[in-house]
Amino acid sequence: MIWPFKRSIESRRKSALKHCSHPLMQDFLSADIADKNRDWRDISLVSLDLETTGLDPKKDQILSIGLVEIHHGSIHLDSAWHQIIQVENDIPEASAVIHHITDDIMAQGERIKSIIPQLLERLNGKVMLVHYANVEQNFLNAACQNLYGSPFIIQTIDTLKLAHRQMSARNHTIQTNDLRLFNLRKHYELPEYTAHNALYDAIATAELFMAMAAESNPKGPQRIGDYLN
């Protein structure tokens, strides 16, 4: 028996598509995926970040979504997209302190059911780039399951996992804080941004990935398969 976590993304998407009835998810799950042998600079990536009220998608909610697209190895700032999400409950004080999204700001946003279709359209046929994929994957999967009854399955590059692999290959002793987005950016001498803003974090992740990819093989090909989860 092949356990689900060992199945290829192609197999998982095809299986989900067979049981999918919503046109939006049918379109998303049937889109072609990137050939792992292609250079990532020839593929469209979407650097994405979510800000949430916590880490458990069963009880916590998405507060904001930020993204920026990468085409031909360049970040396209004209593609930047930032959305505040209206949530059902009051925002916990601890969360508001971190994300600076108050109930007043949240009230001006849109419902998740209006935002997810726009997000899926932007991600359709592209590779998702994130830092710590568990957050984005789990929350977007929960949203798609709740709205459409289908799982969220996409090719993903996780800069946290990529950094862990690179450090391990160099026999680097890894401390927990070493893998934080902004500590990794310092290692590559990238500029500081305000943390916990979904759009800024998406841009920060895009810049970090490009620096990491350039370091891994500066003159040769850079197969996207070498960076995928």
What is the tens place of the pLDDT at every residue in 154-195?
999 999 999 999 999 988 899 989 999 999 999 999 999 888
So what's the pLDDT on residue 219?
80
∠ CA 185-98-75, rounded to 5°: 35
Q: Which of 90, 85, 45 is nearest to 69 (CA)?
A: 45
Give the distance from CA 167 to its chain's centroid: 21
Q: What is the largest CA-CA distance in the chain?
A: 51
- Beta-bridge partners for 205: none
Tell whether 160 is covered by a domain.
Answer: yes
Tell whether 4 is covered by a domain.
Answer: no
Tell whether 71 is covered by a domain.
Answer: yes
Which H or E element spans position 129? strand 127-130
Tell me what percent of the residues of the chain surpass a pLDDT of 90: 80
- Domain range holding 27? 20-226
Tell me: pLDDT of 35 over 90: yes
Which H or E element spans position 171? none
Contacts of residue 76, Cβ cutoff 8 Å, sequence gap at least 6: 68, 69, 70
Q: Which of 131, 129, 153, 130 is nearest to 5 (CA)?
A: 153
CATH number of the domain within which 38 lies: 3.30.420.10
Give the distance from CA 171 to its chain's centroid: 27
pLDDT tens digit string along 109-146? 999 999 999 999 999 999 999 999 999 999 999 999 99
So what's the pLDDT on residue 96?
67
Tell me: pLDDT of 90 over 80: no
Tell whether 206 is covered by a domain.
Answer: yes
How many domains would you assign to the chain? Answer: 1
Tell me: pLDDT of 5 over 90: no
- Pick the range with the lowest mean pLDDT from 25-39, 94-108, 113-127: 94-108
**CA 165 – CA 39 distance, rounded (Å):** 19
Structure confidence at residue 2 as a pLDDT band (50, 70, 90): very low
Query: Residue 112 corresponds to which tokens in the numbers above?
Result: 């998740």
Tell whether 122 is covered by a domain.
Answer: yes
So what's the pLDDT on residue 1?
37
